[in-house]
């Protein structure tokens, strides 16, 4: 086994271990049946009992899983403990009843709205490609976006969706292969920034509510770190003063225009001179994220998770950022754990309800990646890693330097 193959195998094992570990943690505490916290006559303390029956008149029949085998208690015998603030009974809804009680109209609406996510994402990527003089139609950008989504969902350990998109988009240009590939990274960064900004806005809205102002320490401030790092890094990258002080411009000059690093630097820096396109990309990002977060909110309504829209925007945005940054297979594990940590662990619904939201989000994402499978069956060949690497490397070596573009980039 070569050193390169060994590294890939180790990286795959790490991602697999993270996914399995997170999923085991999530499912370990899931309860299939409803449970209630009750006080029993003649016994001290409280007990968490399994709910056997919930009658229409409100009478709840419960029994214990251990210690009182075979005994049943009604609300006349078992005093259900209630929340001191809200007065609601302390009930843990089981996954069985979550599935049984799903409201299907918001679920269907969420599925339709979710379709806007890849559509606006494809338009954003198309706009970024135009800056690099790569002209593709809306149909082609949708096709490549779907193929990338499909590969991310179903072949995360074999061929990454971003790499597949980079391979296919280079087929649409003879002179900007490296530049067209780097647009995928820029696209990812803009998407991440959009989610972090939306989460920050939602946090500000929560703080404006008088009853929530005291919970400032409970808000996930640390989760904004990735966005802050990207913003500061971007400001430093595009600042001529910082680039001059750090010697970046001198380094690029020594490398020469044909060097891969120089071309990637130039391709990213080029967006400094296309502010309208960047603004358009952020606008499309917010439309895409609006579809995503609206769908998530409708899913919380469908499974009866009692959470307000600002909290959905605040936490769901950061969950998606974290699941994209944490090394795992297609975000499997971190996404589910994120919803449990952000909702159930904070007393918003049960662990089963939070997990149900995550599972439905994943299923809807899988559903909207299926057109990518159709595209591949209709003739889009799935290349191997060796083919993609060869195409990109050969394409860069064969391309001639572009002095005019370089002059535009280094202009102050």
Q: What is the mean pLDDT of the chain?
A: 77
Tell whether the torsion through CA atoms of 356, 197, 149 and 124 is positive or negative: positive
87 against 336, higher pLDDT: 336
Is residue 25 in some structural domain?
no
Which of 303, 298, 310, 295 has its CA nearest to residue 342? 310
pLDDT at 297 (0 to 100): 95
Residues 68 and 116 in one domain: no
Is residue 257 in some structural domain?
yes
Is residue 356 in some structural domain?
yes
Strand 79-80, strand 72-73: pairing = unpaired
Backbone angles phi and psi of 52, in degrees to 5: -90, -35
| pTM beyond 0.95, yes or no | no
Biggest distance spanned by C-alpha atoms of the chain? 88
Please determine, for residue 36, whether its predicted confidence score (pLDDT) is greater than 50: yes
Mean pLDDT of 61-74: 64
What's the domain count of the chain?
2
Residues 319 and 202 in one domain: yes
Please determine, for residue 391, whether its predicted confidence score (pLDDT) is greater than 70: no
Please determine, for residue 116, whether its predicted confidence score (pLDDT) is greater than 90: yes
Q: How confident is the model at residue 105 (pLDDT cuts 50, 70, 90)?
A: very high
Residues 56 and 186 in one domain: no
Cβ–Cβ under 8 Å, residues 321 and 332:
no
Q: How confident is the model at residue 217 (pLDDT cuts 50, 70, 90)?
A: low
Is residue 7 in some structural domain?
no
For residue 23, give both structure tokens. Answer: 């999923």
DSSP 312: H
Instruction: Select the highest-mean-pLDDT range: 43-52, 112-121, 239-248.
Output: 112-121
State which residues form the domain around 262: 109-409
Residues 131 and 45 in one domain: no
Which of 342, 42, 355 has its CA nearest to residue 218? 342
Q: How confident is the model at residue 367 (pLDDT cuts 50, 70, 90)?
A: very high
Is residue 23 in some structural domain?
no
Give dist(CA 257, CA 296) in Å, integer: 46
Please determine, for residue 161, whether its predicted confidence score (pLDDT) is greater than 60: yes
Is residue 11 in some structural domain?
no
pLDDT digits (tens, 9 = 90+) for 258-307: 666 777 777 777 788 888 988 999 999 999 999 999 999 999 999 988 88
User: Exposed, middle or buried by CB within 10 Å (0-12, 13-18, 19+), for 2?
Assistant: exposed
Please determine, for residue 112, whether its predicted confidence score (pLDDT) is greater than 80: yes
Residues 136 and 70 in one domain: no
Is residue 59 in some structural domain?
yes
Alpha carbon 363 to chain centroid, angstroms: 13
Which of 145, 137, 140 has its CA nearest to residue 120? 145
pLDDT at 223 (0 to 100): 64
86 against 327, higher pLDDT: 327
Residues 69 and 161 in one domain: no
Instruction: Select the highest-mean-pLDDT range: 26-30, 35-39, 167-171, 366-370.
Output: 366-370
Please determine, for residue 389, whether its predicted confidence score (pLDDT) is greater than 70: no
Instruction: Select the highest-mean-pLDDT range: 116-130, 207-221, 236-250, 363-377.
Output: 116-130
pLDDT at 410 (0 to 100): 30
Give dist(CA 311, CA 199) in Å, integer: 9
Residues 182 and 246 in one domain: yes
Residues 175 and 62 in one domain: no
pLDDT at 399 (0 to 100): 46
Residues 278 and 349 in one domain: yes
pLDDT at 282 (0 to 100): 92
| Angle at the Cα of 373 from the Cα atoms of 367 and 374, rounded to 5 degrees | 105
Is residue 9 in some structural domain?
no
Residues 185 and 40 in one domain: no
Give dist(CA 153, CA 14) in Å, integer: 18
Query: CA end-to-end span of the chain, whole Å?
Result: 49
pLDDT at 406 (0 to 100): 30
Please determine, for residue 196, whether its predicted confidence score (pLDDT) is greater than 50: yes
Give dist(CA 219, CA 207) in Å, integer: 9
Residue that is last in its domain, among 66, 92, 118? 92
Please determine, for residue 59, whether its predicted confidence score (pLDDT) is greater than 70: no
pLDDT at 411 (0 to 100): 31
């Amino acid at each position: 086994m070569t050193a390169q193959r060994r590294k890939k195998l180790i990286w795959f094992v790490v991602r697999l271990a993270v996914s399995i570990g997170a999923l085991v943690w999530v499912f370990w505490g899931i309860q299939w049946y409803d449970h209630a916290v009750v006080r029993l006559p003649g016994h001290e303390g409280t007990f968490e009992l399994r709910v056997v029956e919930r009658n229409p008149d409100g009478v709840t029949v419960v029994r214990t899983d251990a210690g009182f085998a075979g005994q049943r208690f009604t609300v006349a015998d078992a005093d259900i403990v209630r929340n001191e603030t809200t007065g609601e009974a302390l009930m843990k809804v089981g996954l069985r009843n979550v599935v049984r009680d799903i409201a299907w109209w918001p679920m269907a609406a969420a599925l339709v709205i979710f379709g806007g996510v890849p559509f606006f994402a494809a338009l954003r990527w198309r706009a970024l490609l135009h800056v690099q003089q790569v002209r593709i139609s809306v149909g082609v950008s949708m096709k490549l976006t779907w193929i990338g989504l499909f590969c991310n969902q179903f072949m995360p350990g074999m061929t990454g969706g971003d790499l597949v998109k980079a391979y296919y988009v280079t087929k649409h240009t003879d002179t900007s292969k490296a530049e067209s590939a780097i647009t995928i990274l820029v696209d990812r960064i803009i998407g991440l920034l959009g989610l972090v900004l939306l989460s920050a806005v939602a946090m500000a809205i929560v703080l404006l509510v008088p009853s929530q102002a005291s919970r400032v320490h409970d808000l996930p401030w640390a989760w904004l770190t990735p966005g802050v790092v990207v913003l500061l890094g971007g400001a430093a990258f595009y600042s001529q003063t910082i680039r001059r002080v750090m010697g970046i411009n001198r380094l690029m000059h020594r490398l020469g225009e044909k060097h891969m690093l120089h071309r990637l630097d130039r391709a990213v820096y080029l967006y400094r001179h296309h502010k309208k396109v960047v603004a358009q990309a952020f606008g499309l990002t917010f439309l895409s994220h609006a579809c995503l977060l609206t769908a998530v909110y409708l899913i919380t309504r469908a499974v009866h998770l009692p959470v307000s829209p600002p909290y959905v925007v605040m936490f769901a945005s950061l969950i998606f950022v974290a699941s994209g940054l944490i090394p795992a297979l297609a975000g499997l594990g971190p996404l589910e754990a994120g919803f449990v940590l952000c909702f159930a662990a904070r007393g918003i619904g049960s662990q089963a309800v939070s997990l149900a939201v995550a599972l439905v989000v994943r299923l809807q994402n899988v559903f909207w990646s299926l057109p990518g499978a159709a595209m591949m069956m209709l003739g889009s060949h799935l290349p191997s890693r060796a083919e993609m690497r060869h195409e990109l490397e050969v394409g860069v070596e064969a391309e001639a330097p572009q002095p005019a573009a370089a002059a535009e980039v280094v202009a102050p």
